[in-house]
Amino acid sequence: MLKNKKLLFLFILSAFCFTNAQSQAKKFPSPPSADTIKNPIKGNQASIISGKKIYTQYCVTCHGEKGKGDGIAAPGLPRPPADHTSGFVQNQTDGALYWIISAGNNPMPTYKKTLTPTQRWQVVNYIRTLAKNSKK
């Protein structure tokens, strides 16, 4: 009986690990062509500061101050906002992040007409800093 419980536990654990690995490998719902979009804005201090200002104005309400998806509006959304500190987000290409910011991802609105291309790239550059700051 104990052997069967151990086998069942190992089976469930391996299924969980496989499913978790698959979900970590998933991408945003961006087209493959988004991965080829290159970030023309250097991730320098000026770009990051500008990106943080834009992020604070447009993104913090849902994604939270530190980008963990825990903003004040998050509980009222039909899907939780992305955790920008997570490996899932940080493993996306800059082009995929830019594409999502531009096109939106319901309930997240599109920012294609709200933000200029430069502003959207600045937000991408700022999002890249959130993983580095997530342990603080």
Could you tell me the CATH number of the domain that includes residue 99?
A: 1.10.760.10
Q: How far apart are CA 19 and CA 127, in angstroms?
A: 26
Single pTM value for the model: 0.78
Q: How far apart are CA 100 and CA 98, in angstroms?
A: 6
Which of 17 and 89 is assigned the larger pLDDT?
A: 89
Does 10 have pLDDT greater than 50?
no
Q: Is residue 7 part of a domain?
A: no
Q: Is residue 2 part of a domain?
A: no
Q: How far apart are CA 59 and CA 126, in angstroms?
A: 11
Which strand (E) or helix (H) includes residue 79? none
Phi, psi of 16 (to 5 degrees): -65, -45
Domain range for residue 110? 30-133
Is the peptide bond preceding residue 107 cis, with omega within 30 degrees of 0?
Answer: yes
Q: Is residue 95 part of a domain?
A: yes
The per-residue pLDDT for range 46-102, each reduced to its tens digit, is 999 999 999 999 999 999 999 999 999 999 999 999 999 999 999 999 999 999 999
Q: Is residue 119 part of a domain?
A: yes
How many structural domains compose the chain?
Answer: 1
Q: Is residue 41 part of a domain?
A: yes
The residue written with tokens 């993983």 in the block is: 131
Query: pLDDT at position 29, please?
Result: 81
Contacts 24+ apart (CB under 8 A), 104-109: 105/28, 105/29, 106/79, 107/77, 107/78, 107/79, 108/62, 108/81
Q: Is residue 99 part of a domain?
A: yes
Work out the angle at residue 60's Cα, subtended by the Cα atoms of residues 58 and 64, and round it to the nearest 5 degrees. 160
Q: Is residue 17 part of a domain?
A: no
Q: Is residue 11 part of a domain?
A: no
